[in-house]
Chain A
């Protein structure tokens, strides 16, 4: 077994070179590269975590933005509806007022026309009375040779006309 047979001749060399090479591995690879690799992994994990957090924050922001937008749009829609309702009510009121005005004008005109008709009729009646009384006095004068006073004739005609 060379491990034991050569022990006294080789132990110094074995221990020396093992220490040299393991020392190189420890100081150059272990303490040089390994922390770098660990830092890389840690950085990557941190970056991933940060990205995830940022994405989560962005999602929350988008959601709150959407909620805000929905609230604003609901409010605006309600305002618009109110505006429309008001305008409709106002329009109805205005048209009612104008209709009422127009109706009153028409009523006034009709009343005026009625009044004019009544006047015309009264005038016509008086004229007919006059004509009838003149005609009656004429007739009386011609048939009976009587001269009837104008007023008397008029009263008599009035009596006949109006019963």
Chain B
């Protein structure tokens, strides 16, 4: 909160170094451990505990194991549907991608502010989503050129392209291909940020209207609060959907790289 009684919707995205601000550097770049890194660590810890708890390998699974097996089976069938049998080897990567994003998104939504802890959504920063998007895009490029060599460029000439359009279509396809990492990174970052900003703005309505009196509190504050509850539910949905979209698009791009068109 910037000032008394004011809510700064952007404050939640502020990166605050926790330690290592001065001394931790790699090649002159500061790699201080920030609140962003802390919440990534928390996501990873929760994810690790979740998967480790369900990887017991029992023939008759317990509830926890069923959840973990369901998550793995979900990614498995996603890749089987979009890439086919060749997609099997990408299950670890897509699973890591999906679950890392999902846990970061959901943990960032936890109402821990009630206890004075401010959750930080690492996926609301394009520096983080960009890393994931560039990783995915690099894998697509490496797999594509390793499997098909220069033939991978035939990706830019879709089947059924009329001959007289051959001067234009590859150019458009190339642009759409090159935009992929940006669209991956920006979609996730924007979706996470927009939801959080919206919640924060609505909460500032609630606080400001309640501070200006009972009448305004009832007229503006209560509907805003109701809307906040609905948008919280929507945000939980968005957290899952964006993780799914990221995993789905990556698997579609991998399909291009594995099977061309």
Chain B hits for A21, CB < 8 A: 37, 40-41, 43-44, 100
Contact with A along B95-129 (1 / 0, CB 8 A): 11001100000000000000000000010111110
Count of chain A to chain B residue pairs whose CB atoms are closer than 8 Å in the complex: 136
Measured as residues with beta carbon below 8 angstroms from the partner, the interface class of chain B is 35 or more
Please choose the segment from B49-57, B198-206, B233-241, B242-250 that sits at the chain A interface, where 4 or more of its residues have CB less than 8 A away: B49-57
Given A37-B54, A40-B69: A9 and B128 interface contact (C-beta under 8 Å): no
Tell me if A113 counts as interface (CB < 8 A to partner B): no
Chain B hits for A110, CB < 8 A: none
Output the nearest chain A residue to B127 by Cβ-Cβ distance. Answer: A14
The B interface is mostly helix, strand or loop, or mixed, namely helix
Output the nearest chain A residue to B132 by Cβ-Cβ distance. Answer: A22
The reply to whether A2 and B15 form a contact with Cβ atoms under 8 Å apart is yes
The A interface is mostly helix, strand or loop, or mixed, namely helix
| CA A30 to CA B79, docked complex, whole Å | 15
| CA A41 to CA B58, docked complex, whole Å | 9
The number of residues on chain A lying at the interface, defined by a beta carbon within 8 Å of a beta carbon of chain B, is 37
Tell me if A34 counts as interface (CB < 8 A to partner B): yes
| CA A25 to CA B128, docked complex, whole Å | 14
A3 to chain B, nearest CB (A): 5
Chain A hits for B91, CB < 8 A: 34, 38
Given A14-B15, A37-B72: A25 and B99 interface contact (C-beta under 8 Å): yes
CB-contact partner of A29 in B48, B73, B127, under 8 A = B48
Tell me if A64 counts as interface (CB < 8 A to partner B): no
Chain B hits for A35, CB < 8 A: 92
Tell me if B76 counts as interface (CB < 8 A to partner A): yes
| CA A18 to CA B31, docked complex, whole Å | 11
CB-contact partner of A37 in B43, B55, B127, B193, under 8 A = B55
Q: State the A residues within 8 Å of B (CB).
A: 1-3, 6-7, 9-19, 21-22, 24-26, 28-31, 33-41, 43-44, 47
